[in-house]
Amino acid sequence: MRRWATPVYTVVLIAIAVTAWGVLREAQSAVLESQSGSVSSVENDPTAPGFRAFTEPTPTGLVLHTRISSRGGAELAGATVLLSAGDVGGGTIVSVPAAFGLEAPLGETFETEGFVPVLNELKEVFGIGFGEVVVLDSGSWTALMAKDLPLPMTLRTDLVAADGQLLVAAGTRDFSLEEVAVIASHQNAGDVSLTVSQRLQDVWKAWVGRTAASPELPPELAVDEGFLDLIATLTRNEVSYRIADFTADSSDFYRADADALQNLVATLVPFPEPIEPGGRDTVMLLDGTGGEIEQRRVLSSVVTAGGTVSVLGNTSELVAESVVEVHNPESWAFAQRLATLLDAAVVDAPSLDSPSDVTVIIGADSSDGP
């Protein structure tokens, strides 16, 4: 097998900018510092041989929507997972019903155990950590969208109180702050959890569409700036919407299809955060084809295998055959899974200096895909 030797460095990054995929796309100053103390310049052109850049995690978020229960405490109305496409804007918004879960409905878990177990279960189901986590009741959510109200949207059915009082009439029109608060929290008698999630999704569609027309989010809101940045990112481009994949054991419990959701994440989230620090094997991905690879396909394979690309770049010379170099002996199982997906060879290359657990060098044999 022919491959080009690639020097291994400990990476120190200075002032780089990141793109939609989280990697450097504009010329910035950076250095790689070796164990011997020598300093080498890094190519500033991301298409040039020898280019290297750290990646940043793809922006993601989780919103837990709460409401006041009939007993007066907080209960889970549903959840929303926000998967952005990075700096280019847009992304995917996934609505999660309160009846969704692995072994029991998330709504029951929230009621008996609180917020943290729900967060941990959704991390497990999606296979990633969430960069931003926010709990919103209908009041705090409508406060977030106050400048965009009234909100033009379609309400598919009348919302009616237990005593028969009409709360909000169905129709396509502009809805006031008070009406949106009811839409985001109310559950009619006989409504299943999926119906509530579809209404929450309709509010998200209307709000994101409205915010895109006036993208300045109010800075005085009492939520994390990172969450506001994530919303602003989503509004800058096209957003798709879906309900989290599940199989309905009954109208009261939707069993999570974790495999389908993790496949979705592998497609949409090129640089995922691990569930816990160190929870994903790290990869330095080097293009040895001169720019002929389908980068998104390779990134998706890394995520599917259980890793995340932490350094992205090019080899110094063209490479004929793809290879997965294993620097961390604990990453062998991951490397073998990834090599199978990429149709690449695996070689032992132990190193304490490598900035990643594994280096993947993509050669010309992979330019057309496995």
Query: How high is the pLDDT of residue 210?
Result: 84
pLDDT value at residue 35: 29
Token pair, residue 2, equals 């022919």
List helix spans (H) across the chain: 106-113, 115-126, 138-144, 177-183, 193-213, 225-235, 258-268, 295-305, 332-342
Say if residues 295 and 335 touch (Cβ distance below 8 Å): no
Three-class DSSP category at 231: helix
With 70 as the cut, is the pLDDT of residue 4 above it? no
> pLDDT value at position 306?
96
**Mean local confidence (pLDDT), 145-156:** 90
Domain shared by 23 and 171, yes or no: no
Which residue range forms the structural domain that includes residue 292?
A: 10-57+270-366
Report the chain's mean pLDDT, rounded to a whole number.
Answer: 84
pLDDT band at residue 22, thresholds of 50, 70 and 90? very low
> Can the peptide bond before residue 150 be classed as cis, meaning omega within 30 degrees of 0?
yes
Tokens linked to 287: 């293009």
Which of residues 370 and 259 earns the better pLDDT score?
259
Domain membership of residue 5 (yes or no) is no
| Cβ atoms within 10 Å of 81's Cβ, excluding its own | 23
Q: How many domains, the chain?
A: 2
- pLDDT of residue 185 exceeding 80, the answer is yes
- How many Cα neighbours within 13 Å face the side chain of 370? 14
CATH number at residue 53: 3.30.70.2390
- The pLDDT, as a whole number, for residue 215 is 55
Q: Is the pLDDT of residue 222 over 80?
A: no
Local confidence band at 217 (pLDDT 50, 70, 90 cut-offs): low
Is the sign of the CA dihedral 2, 7, 9, 14 positive or negative?
A: negative
* 4 is a domain residue: no
Q: Which of 11, 4, 92, 84 is closest to 351 using CA atoms?
A: 11
Mean pLDDT is lowest, of 94-108, 260-274, 356-370, for 356-370
Decide if 256 is inside a domain.
Answer: yes
Q: What is the pLDDT of residue 314?
A: 92
Together in a domain, 99 and 174: yes
Q: Are residues 188 and 292 in the same domain?
A: no
Mean per-residue pLDDT, 248-270? 92
The Cα–Cα gap between 32 and 354 comes to 11
Pick from 88, 7, 16, 8: nearest CA to 54: 16
Q: Where are the alpha helices (DSSP H) in 128-192?
A: 138-144, 177-183
